[in-house]
Homo-oligomer: A and B are copies of this chain.
């Protein structure tokens, strides 16, 4: 069976019909719709000479045994956010199906190839993303916290997982899955505007950004909007406003690829007749280099202290979350460039702002690379998410070429 990239597009549309509605994709992990998607995926791979297993974290694996047990992994996730897009995650696994078909058709590969569908990449129901891949990589260290998590309806996370055959206490046993892994390949939509702005269908991902995520709380004094002279105010919003603007020069100084975002400011009391007493500001900073990220953070903190003094307010930083930058494998990046150039005019190297399961696998020490395919208007996590069908087809072809190169490389170096 030769590779048929157009079949991937047809199958993605089929999945959209099966698991989406007028508001978008509804394949939220640990729900019936998600199970329907997983069952559909199993159906697509039935009949191929693959071993099917589900690991203790709920990840689905399909293994095509090769001449060596050292394995090339192709991975993605079929879960979506509520009202999500048709491609985020699903492209990876459905393209992987097509590559597995081609490989199986070609007979025993030079190295083992495994397709994995990671459980709960999005964390949409319980707010814990990268569940399955972090269990497999062994980085999951928050099981105590996870035990206490509940969804919006009050269902506890362990109960929801149990309904899908997963025992939270045993999830880390999924670590054994990565023992023979020699390479990990993941194709994903870019979810950003870079490739579209360069008019390129495909790009190679250099790694995922390190992220520093903070809640910055400004505390001033509520005061009547009519009776408090301007020079007697302690306006918490003024501090937040200054920081919301200052993060732009901070990102600029950090050079290309640096991003800083203030995604929310909550004002209290938040009424038209009062100076803002408390402003709770979210800050997200990302960079591919750890040192640069640390400098961006310290510059933002210093600026906030200066603003607090100027405004006679207090400022307090509380870390929500952080992750180090994760760099992908140089050899695989080279293969990815070559694979892209074979199917498209040019390749482009770019960092990934969003995290992906690939980051977890890379953290476990498995050489990793990702391909990005252009996202129209950079939109994702919305039903408006889209990619041109011809670009989707190119992406399947590029993934296949990358898989072929990597199998040869793993077999040769094994």
Contacts and interface: CB of A to CB of B under 8 A. Distances in A.
B237 A258 contact: no
Nearest to A274: B263
Interface in A243-271: 244-245, 248, 251-252, 257-267, 269-271
Interface residues of A, number: 61
Contacts of A227: 190-194, 352-354, 378, 380
A226 B211 contact: yes
Number of copies of this chain that the complex holds: 2
Contacts of A190: 227
Instruction: Determine chain A's interface SS by DSSP, over half rule.
Output: mixed
Contacts of A257: 229
A412 interface: no
A43 to B, nearest CB: 32
A213 interface: yes
Contact of A226 (B241, B245, B286): B286
Contacts of A352: 226-227
A259 B241 contact: no
A228 B353 contact: yes
Contact of A240 (B193, B211, B222, B241): B241
Given A242-B245, A378-B223, A192 B263 contact: no
Nearest to A380: B224
A272 B213 contact: yes
Given A226-B354, A263-B269, 13 more contacts: A192-B224, A192-B227, A192-B229, A194-B229, A209-B226, A226-B284, A229-B259, A237-B265, A241-B245, A261-B273, A261-B274, A271-B282, A272-B282
Interface of A: 190-194, 197, 209, 211, 213, 222-230, 232, 237-238, 240-242, 244-245, 248, 251-252, 257-267, 269-276, 282-284, 286, 320, 352-355, 378, 380-382
